[in-house]
């Protein structure tokens, strides 16, 4: 079927009119070529457009379609063509610039206002979006793409100027680049002799190039999201959004100027920022957060990390591998933060110490003085003890993150926050104003990108389908140190606290064939299951590739598998995942190779 | 035939029944309770007292119930006034045990109508007074 010939048929004898018809068709083609709609939907929309524009608007037979008939026609369209149905309004924005001179001519020919009037009478005005998302981080951009796929008219507001938020720009992604490359350097330097690789003495690195490699990965990923926005028909506004009232959001555009959008639904996805340490001013040069730690210009001689959580240990590892003398000061007696199993945490502490990182556990930082050549930190045993001073060139503050809602104008809509500045939500991510939802770091739950992603999909499904799903009991955590640490489900301490009976099975990587061939045998898999039903309760892994292996555990946990289910599933040989299977065997009966 | 059944049962038991259940494509539940409840990851496990009492509605049907009828019959508004609640909701009408209602407690319309002087005359005269 040739859509173009329809347009020609409809066009009357007049040459200009025929031209304008074809031009309008080209606008639809533009949607099509940008993958904004699927072709069957496009076909439907072109048919309906020709019916209305061609017959109603051009006055060939004005009485043929009544308002109610147009309304009905529109009602029966799937969401995307319905959107296109109003394209006469939309097109003026989406039309390519090159076509701009013809645009005015086109308007003059086709007497648009009458048609616009029809649309306005029955549909929302073009400026009101189905969904407005504040924040283009993992939560925001995933929600925007999902909403586009569900056929909602969606706008995403981001003030950073690039999409992806903390995760892509100054978090997970750049840190993984540095961790991977610094690990390769470290491995070449210290771990080649026993493998029979020679001639790598005097290996060194170029920090500037390492940073450039990091930036390249970041840019390609953030650009990828912009492409996905276009593909899914998401409108992207670069600027800072703030609530004017419950439906309207003012956007201070980064390029200057101001605009406003209103939405039937609004999602707050503004994320989080690093919690500053009281008394130490962050300058991102000497006193740094994770953001500064990703772009130091030279390797500091010594570095103190305040906070032995995942961020502190990962960034500490990077700079320690590159030659810094790293000391981690942690208030608790355990590293890895909440959720990490005590046994795994101890094993991790042992290996990290072996790699040359110093630890001061159960130690409180009283204050710091950055005035001298070196930054002086006063530390004290957490339970009271002898005060001492430690010195460092750079201090990394990694004591956690806090929700970020500054400048959002929450006071204009009477939104209250809880005692830790989180937006309070219910089970469907609704805030106290039900059409405003909130997801990601800025609300409850662990501050993890994959959790935000799950919530984004669920929140959009609650809007479009009335039902969504996130299982907060099965959110994996991974620490990308060497060896990696990963866990999902409950740990021993949590089970003890809730008085739940459990059974444990472990398997060391030193008994795994693939780990042996890799000469990489540190770590173990620990599986916790219910003694009565054998149902999996938690999985904790420290060792090579733990971050990938945890996916299998999360899947098993989500399905409610028993340890026997895993143990009876065939795993390829020789792989690291056999250790996972053997740990499951050890849980319900006995491991073969240990 | 019984032997076959027993054998079949025996094989069924000998095979391991995985506790894992593949549920297939997840359907949307038929009945979803949309009333606000605490978020599963909420640290307090409770919603603040003023949550979602905002004037807006959590679902379209609650909005429709609210908007269709104005006045005391509006379904979403419950006041203590008589008329806003059905009579059945006001409770049992029978007296407590051991107590009895007197006819005199009833409103005037339930009482016997007093006979007028003319009526008495009519009764006594056999109706003749009305004709005369």
DSSP class of residue A301 equals S
Take residue B75 and report the two structure tokens written for it.
């379904």
Neighboring chain A residues of B19 at a CB cutoff of 8 Å: 533-535, 560-562, 564-565
Q: How far is A165 from chain B (nearest CA, A)?
A: 22
Q: Does B45 touch chain A (CB under 8 A)?
A: no
Neighboring chain B residues of A556 at a CB cutoff of 8 Å: 20
Take residue B9 and report the two structure tokens written for it.
């049962």
Q: Which residues of chain B have pLDDT under 50?
A: none
Say if CB A476 and CB A540 are below 8 A apart.
no
SS3 letters for A450-505?
HHHHHHHHHHHHHHHCCCCCCCCCCCCEEECCCCEEEEEECCHHHHHHCCCCCEEE
Give all strands (DSSP E) within A229-353, no chain letters: 234-243, 248-253, 258-268, 272-274, 287-288, 302-306, 325-329
Lowest mean per-residue pLDDT among A59-63, A221-225, A275-279: A59-63
Quick one: how far is CA A132 from the chain centroid?
18
* pTM (predicted TM-score): 0.72
CA distances from A379 to A285, A308, A376, A393 (A): 22, 15, 10, 16
Residue of A430, A444, A556 with shortest CB distance to B43: A444
Q: Does B105 touch chain A (CB under 8 A)?
A: no
**Whether the predicted pLDDT of A38 surpasses 60:** no
Q: Tell me what the mean pLDDT of segment A536-544 comes to.
A: 97
For Cα atoms A100, A102, A108, give the angle at the middle one, nearest 5 degrees. Answer: 115
CA-based nearest residue in chain B for residue A467: B28
Query: B97: cis peptide before it, omega within 30°?
Result: no
A435 is catalytic: no
Q: What percent of chain A has pLDDT over 70?
A: 79
Is the Cβ pair A535, B56 closer than 8 Å?
Answer: no
- Where b means 16+ CB within 10 Å and e means fewer, A28-63 reads beebbeeebbeeebbbbbbbbbbbbbbbbbbeeeee
Say if CB A140 and CB A133 are below 8 A apart.
yes
Mean residue pLDDT across chain A: 85
Say if CB B32 and CB A466 are below 8 A apart.
yes
CA-based nearest residue in chain A for residue B54: A433
Say if CB A156 and CB A136 are below 8 A apart.
yes
Q: Output the pLDDT for position A3.
A: 45
Of A32-46, A123-137, A302-316, which one has max mean pLDDT? A302-316
Is the Cβ pair B48, A432 closer than 8 Å?
Answer: yes
Q: Output the pLDDT for position B49.
A: 83
Take residue B101 and report the two structure tokens written for it.
């209602």
Between B96 and A452, where is the model more confident?
A452
Q: Tell me what the mean pLDDT of segment A39-62 comes to.
A: 51
Q: Tell me what the mean pLDDT of segment A315-335 comes to.
A: 96
Q: Output the pLDDT for position A2.
A: 44
> What is the spatial distance between Cα A242 and Cα A411, in angstroms, rounded to a whole number?
10
Is the Cβ pair B41, A433 closer than 8 Å?
Answer: no
Q: Output the pLDDT for position A440.
A: 97
Q: Does B78 touch chain A (CB under 8 A)?
A: no
> What is the spatial distance between Cα B43 and Cα A111, in angstroms, rounded to a whole number?
58
Q: Output the pLDDT for position A59.
A: 44
DSSP class of residue B33 equals -
pLDDT, tens only, A382-430: 777 788 999 999 999 999 999 999 999 999 998 989 999 999 999 999 9
Say how many CB pairs under 8 Å bridge A and B: 86
Q: Report residue A84's pLDDT band, with 50, 70 and 90 as the boundaries.
A: low
Q: Tell me what the mean pLDDT of segment A259-263 comes to.
A: 93
Q: Tell me what the mean pLDDT of segment A361-379 comes to.
A: 93
Q: Does B28 touch chain A (CB under 8 A)?
A: yes
Q: Output the pLDDT for position A443.
A: 96
Between A28 and A355, where is the model more confident?
A355
Q: Output the pLDDT for position B60.
A: 73
Take residue A361 and report the two structure tokens written for it.
């556990």
Take residue A179 and report the two structure tokens written for it.
């961790």
SS3 letters for A333-367?
CCCCCCCCCHHHHHHHHHHHHHCCCEEECCEEEEE
Residue of B34, B39, B52 with shortest CB distance to A432: B52
**Whether the predicted pLDDT of A11 surpasses 90:** no
Assembly ipTM:
0.71
Q: Tell me what the mean pLDDT of segment A151-158 comes to.
A: 96
Helix A172-190 and helix A310-321, axial crossing angle in degrees, nearest 10: 40
Is the Cβ pair A425, B39 closer than 8 Å?
Answer: yes
Lowest mean per-residue pLDDT among A77-86, A175-184, B78-87: A77-86
Which residue shows structure tokens 């040739």?
A2
Neighboring chain B residues of A247 at a CB cutoff of 8 Å: none
């Amino acid at each position: 079927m040739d859509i173009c010939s329809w347009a020609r048929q409809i066009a009357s004898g007049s040459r200009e009119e025929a031209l304008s018809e074809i031009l309008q068709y080209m606008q639809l083609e533009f949607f099509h070529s940008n993958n904004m709609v699927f072709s069957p939907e496009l076909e439907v929309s072109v048919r309906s457009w020709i019916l209305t524009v061609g017959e109603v608007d051009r006055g060939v037979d004005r009485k043929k379609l009544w308002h109610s008939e147009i309304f009905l026609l529109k009602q029966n369209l799937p969401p995307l063509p319905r959107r296109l149905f109003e394209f006469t309004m939309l097109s003026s924005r989406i039309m390519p610039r090159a076509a701009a001179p013809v645009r005015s001519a086109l308007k003059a020919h086709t007497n648009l206002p009458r048609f616009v009037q029809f649309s306005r009478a029955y549909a929302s005005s073009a400026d009101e979006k189905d969904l407005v998302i504040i924040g283009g981080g993992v939560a925001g951009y995933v929600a925007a793409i999902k909403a586009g796929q569900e056929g909602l008219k969606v706008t995403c507001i981001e003030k950073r100027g690039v999409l992806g938020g903390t995760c892509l720009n100054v978090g997970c992604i750049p840190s993984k680049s540095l961790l991977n490359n610094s690990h390769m350097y470290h491995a070449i330097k210290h771990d080649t002799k026993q493998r029979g690789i020679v001639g790598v003495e005097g290996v060194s690195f170029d920090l500037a190039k390492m940073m450039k490699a990091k930036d390249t990965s970041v840019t390609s990923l953030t650009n990828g999201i912009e492409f996905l926005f276009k593909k899914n028909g998401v409108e992207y506004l670069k600027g800072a959004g703030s609530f004017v009232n419950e439906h309207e959001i003012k956007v201070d555009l980064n390029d200057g100027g101001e605009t406003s959008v209103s939405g039937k639904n609004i999602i707050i996805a503004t994320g989080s920022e690093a919690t500053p340490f009281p008394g130490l001013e962050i300058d991102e040069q000497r006193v740094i957060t994770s953001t500064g730690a990703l772009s130091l210009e030279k390797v500091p001689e010594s570095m103190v990390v305040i906070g032995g959580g995942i961020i502190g240990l990962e960034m500490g590892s990077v700079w320690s591998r590159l030659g810094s003398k790293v000391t981690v000061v942690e208030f608790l007696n355990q590293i890895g933060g909440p959720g990490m199993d005590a046994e795994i945490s101890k094993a991790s502490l042992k290996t990290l110490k072996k790699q040359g990182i110093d630890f001061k556990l159960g130690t409180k930082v009283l204050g710091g003085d950055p005035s001298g050549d070196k930054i002086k930190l006063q530390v004290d045993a957490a339970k009271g003890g002898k005060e001492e001073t430690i010195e460092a060139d750079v201090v990394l503050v990694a004591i956690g993150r806090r929700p970020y809602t500054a400048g959002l104008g929450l006071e204009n809509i009477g939104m209250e926050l809880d005692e830790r500045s989180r937006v309070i939500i219910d089970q469907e991510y609704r805030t106290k104003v039900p059409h405003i939802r909130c997801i990601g770091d800025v609300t409850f739950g662990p501050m993890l990108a994959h959790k935000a992603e799950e919530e984004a999909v669920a929140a959009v499904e609650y809007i479009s389908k009335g039902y969504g799903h996130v299982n907060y009991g099965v959110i994996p955590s991974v620490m990308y140190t060497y060896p990696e640490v990963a866990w999902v489900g409950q740990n021993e301490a949590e089970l003890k606290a809730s008085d739940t009976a459990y059974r444990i099975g472990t398997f060391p990587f030193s008994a795994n064939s693939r780990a042996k061939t890799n000469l990489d045998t540190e770590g173990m898999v620990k599986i916790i299951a219910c003694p009565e039903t054998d149902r999996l309760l938690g999985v904790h892994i420290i060792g090579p590739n733990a971050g990938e292996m945890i996916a299998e555990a999360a899947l098993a946990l989500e399905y409610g598998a028993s340890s026997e289910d895993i143990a009876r599933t065939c795993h390829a040989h020789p792989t690291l995942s056999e250790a996972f299977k053997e740990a499951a065997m050890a849980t319900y009966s006995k491991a073969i190779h240990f | 035939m019984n032997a076959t059944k027993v054998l079949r049962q025996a094989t069924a038991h000998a095979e391991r029944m995985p506790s894992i259940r593949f549920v297939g494509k997840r359907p949307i539940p038929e009945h979803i309770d949309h009333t606000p409840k605490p978020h599963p990851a909420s640290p307090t496990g409770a919603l603040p007292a003023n949550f979602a009492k905002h004037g807006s509605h959590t679902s379209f049907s609650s909005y429709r119930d609210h908007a269709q009828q104005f006045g005391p019959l509006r379904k979403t508004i419950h006041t203590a006034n008589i008329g806003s609640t059905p009579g059945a909701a006001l409770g049992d009408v029978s007296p407590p045990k051991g107590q009895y209602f007197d006819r005199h407690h009833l409103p005037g319309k339930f009482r016997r109508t007093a006979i007028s002087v003319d009526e008495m005359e009519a009764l006594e005269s056999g109706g003749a007074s009305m004709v005369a």
